[in-house]
Structure 1
């Protein structure tokens, strides 16, 4: 990496952190309680260009390199995992349009997505089909007027407010992707409340009944839905979530350093207790290790190295389990205060646990990573 590029990335990180400190950090607990992010914040993110982070400059985006995207995801994840979730799913929809869309689709949607005038969402998961993408039951039937979608999608992040959904359905039994505007007749949206973590990510359930979309709404071609489009989007999502977990780790460490430097027990500050020092040590080292794994994945992606895919699996695996461990210990360090909404560590714990489930569970990561290890071994 050139020195100029390094300076740009550092300047970017400082700008991202400044934005998060000014607009997000002090409001995140309230948004978590209200289970929503204000439209004004989303508009500000659009004005800063963050919603167009990975969109080409040709269409009004920032066209960030992967390490800069990582810094953005970390700083937003450090402030509020729900805000980082918006960047993730909106980015997933955006890269799908840019990589697989027609010239007309790119010209129509990318400038709107880059500015935040249109919010994108990713519609793959169903009540009975999460990680098992082959189990999706939503169907698409071709007619003279277009495609008719039938089925439902669940756990759709920011589905409550999204303007454009990337929907995966089986067309003649083959997984296919479609662009479905919110205003499409036959599409109904139910708000899901009481979610355990990332509660401000405005999750929804979609229902499609005789939902007619035009022929030009297909993205790519029949059969490309899961093996190409969804996998490409999920790799992007996995990468940004890994960086978001680094943000949670850093937030836990910051909170514990502050708390233990002020809280006294048995006549001494908590930070002087050896067991506390052990927990702080593990948080510090795991935060640095997770960040290094993410940086390695980002470097490989920027270089176009195919190993970037497996490096992302490794980064997301380590960062997510480390974030959950750190958040659990952060609550423990805070004691009864850690169970109170007066302190953000309880939010970090709930959010961290969600990171072990979305974009591939911890156990799915273990299957993939161990399989790769055996494939490269001589045994």
Structure 2
């Protein structure tokens, strides 16, 4: 199945949501003329996008020629310790990040889930797992969880050790992210492998014969599989493959890139596929500072999504899953777990859509 492109309207709505969530604009949206120039869109597209976020309660109704007032974002205010009213079922979203640091695409997903769970008398709260609990789940997880009283747990991009602990001790859990091998919990996963297959095939059609995957050095669930898949895909199609495993620490990235790409011979690679948004953004900036043109000399594709990608120059080609699609798959699994503590549909892959951007072009001769 070939991922479909996301419409310009959907991208515009996403950009507006992201700007509001990240306090890019204070109190009011900029004038329509300014937004149209910034986003390179027509006024009709902008007005349709504003109408959409108006329906979501992010801006007021406004009027002809009136700037839209930004209303309070519901998904930025859930910072209190989780509590549930008497008789209300409690679902706890466990995350590696503080709520205030979560990408806006995740915040919107949480907000939609909260809204869809209300008719079922369910609360959804977000909790960051402390580092010491992540490192020692067998010793600390059980006691730590008791303070939240969750009926069902959502494991968002949790490491293998945490997933295995829940599988052994607390099976009323749903994984949102890549499921570890041997963990038979309900899960909803964005199919990064499908995105990688599509990216390699597309780059091949553009004449790219040497492709580098830039991934995180940490053994995150799914990263090792992507690396192996790249080698297999390139071997099957007669291409060369390479991998750069980067640290998650931003201050170490420059040295790692210099070490990998400082020699001219390293630039046999004409295409980079990045698995992490922060690394993709750094790669784009680093290449531009080295006066390496994107996409004329090197193409870049990101396997995941981040709203800020709409503002890069050139705009980053990437893959994304609409949060509504994700909610549609996550919700029934949560309700199954609440009702019977068993999920009848265990695992599903969501095929991401391809957003073309401006960072992919023909391989240099």
What band does the TM-score fall into relative to the shorter chain?
under 0.3
TM-score by length of 2: 0.26
TM-score by length of 1: 0.25
Give the structure with the higher percent helix: 1
